[in-house]
Structure formats: structure tokens, C-alpha cells
Amino acid sequence: MKVLFSILMFVCFDSVSQNLNYSELRFISVDEPPANYLDSSGELSGFVTEIVKQLQKQLQNDTSIEVMPEARAIRTLDTSPNVIMFSLSRSEERENKYHWLAHVITKRWIFFSRFDSSHEASTLSHIVSSRTVGVIHGDIRERWLQKQNTSNLISILDYNNAVEMLMRDRFDFLFYESFGVFSTLKKLGYSSDMVKSELVARESDVYIVMSKSIDDSALVLEIQNQFSILKKSDWYSNHLNKWVKKLNAEGVADAWTAHGVLKY
């Protein structure tokens, strides 16, 4: 009886899966290395990007991935059905707004300064009360800094401009994460020793997410199932190892893995 029940459940589940229309899915991303970024040839690459592209193969979906500023990406996620966005930090404020499909990264939020800075940065309270801080508009870190009552907050459209502004001494600290800062420095032609890490404020879990819409439960469950299959595969294990080696080879920060998640 138990065997028969399992077979029937599998047949029903497989039937539902075959009836789902994956072509309606829309994939959007932000340019935020090393998770997702435009490489030197203008192609979207990155740790999470490769996971999403592998998922698309499993779903037999060849939809082009759209890259947009973070504020616009979140607006799209909030207002359109069947949107898969990567990558997005999970927070209490966002918890019930989206379907959290897959935990892929855990990263530390760090205050960075120029290498020649002499600003006091031993405590969070000192930074937010008396220094200018740059952050990306629409990023979860912007909202977090606002909650800390940061007195001089400067919101920037993208990380290329943010790093360039830090280099030109337009603000005292940039609130970002390690490999994002160092890969952007490299992209802009600066060396990694042009900045220094001042204070780790906290860490966040980063997910691939999907917008919420009416009657999307079957689609969400199947995508989550496909992610589960993917994370148990040899491809995923090799993918994790490849990116840990790739990031650590830069010699600018540390990367490691835990429970199938990339951490840095």
C-alpha cells in the first residue's frame, strides 16, 4: 500500500510538473560581483548567475536574463508576476513579500575606507553619527543604515560609481562586502590595497527569490524542487569548489563554504 501511494504521488507530481509553463518566467539580476556581474565582454557571469543558468537548463527555459539597477529590479519584483530575481538579501521586512527559492550566499557587511583614511571607525555608532557613508540606492544596506539613523548617508546608483566616489574622497566610508569591493576596484583599474576594511557590521543570507502572485504555488514548489536536485548534483559541488578557489586566488579576502552555501 505504501509503495502504491508513493508511486501515485510521484505520477501526480510529475504530471503537475509537465503542465507548468516555465516560458512565462522572467529572470532579472543586478550587477553585483561576484554573485552576478557583467564581464569584460559584456556577458552576465558570476557565482549565482551560473546557478541560475544551470536551473534554466533543467527547466528547458532559454529566456534572456535582464540586468538592471537594484531599485528598479526590486520594483519589478514587487509589481510583476513570475519574476525570478538574483541575488537578494533576506530580511524580516522582506520575509512575506517574496518566495525564497534558494539560499546561495552568506556575506558580511563591511565599512570600507580609502587606504590613507585616518577616520575613527572602531564602533558603528561613531561611523553613523559623524561620518559620511556611501551605499547603493535600493540596496538592503541602505535601509539598514537608515534604521541606524546614519546622519550623512549618500545613495549611489551603482557600485562602479560608488567605488569611484570613494577613491575620489567623496565620502568617508563605503558600506559593501569584500569581494564586491575588490572586484570593482580591479574592474576600474585600482589595486586592492587602495581600500581597507574598517568594521564588519553584520552578515546577511542571500537568496534567489520569486515574486508572489495568485495561483503560483505549484510553480514555486517545482522550482524549489529543481533547486534541491541541482544542489545535490556533482555539478553544484564542483561549482562551489571552483568559486572558492577562484575567489581565494585573488588574495584579497577569504571565501569558504558551509552546507552548500558560499560564504565570504
DSSP string computed for 148-177: TT-SEEEEES-HHHHHHHHHTTSSSEEEE-
Same domain, 8 and 102: yes
Which of 203, 222, 251 is the C-terminal boundary of a domain? 203
Which of 187, 203, 219 is the C-terminal boundary of a domain? 203
CB 65 within 8 A of CB 28: yes
d(C-alpha 241, C-alpha 236), whole Å: 9
Per-10-residue mean pLDDT, the chain, length 264:
42 52 94 92 95 97 96 96 96 96 98 96 95 96 96 94 97 96 95 96 97 93 97 97 96 95 97
Q: How many CB atoms lie within 10 A of CB 235?
A: 14
Sequence-distant (≥ 6) Cβ neighbours of residue 158 within 8 angstroms: 31, 69, 136
Same domain, 199 and 112: yes
d(C-alpha 236, C-alpha 242), whole Å: 10
Q: In terms of C-beta distances under 8 Å and separation of at least 24 residues, what long-range contacts does 6-14 make, across chains too?
A: none
**Strands 37-38 and 44-45, bridge-based pairing:** antiparallel
Same domain, 122 and 235: no
- Residue 40, pLDDT score: 85
Same domain, 113 and 101: no
Which of 203, 234, 255 is the C-terminal boundary of a domain? 203
Range of the domain at 222: 2-106+205-263
CB 101 within 8 A of CB 118: no
Tell me the pTM: 0.87
Number of domains in the chain: 2
- Residue 215, pLDDT score: 87
225: Cα within 13 Å, side-chain hemisphere: 12
Same domain, 188 and 125: yes
Which CATH number is 48's domain given? Answer: 3.40.190.10
- Residue 18, pLDDT score: 54
Same domain, 63 and 41: yes
- Residue 20, pLDDT score: 82
Same domain, 126 and 93: no
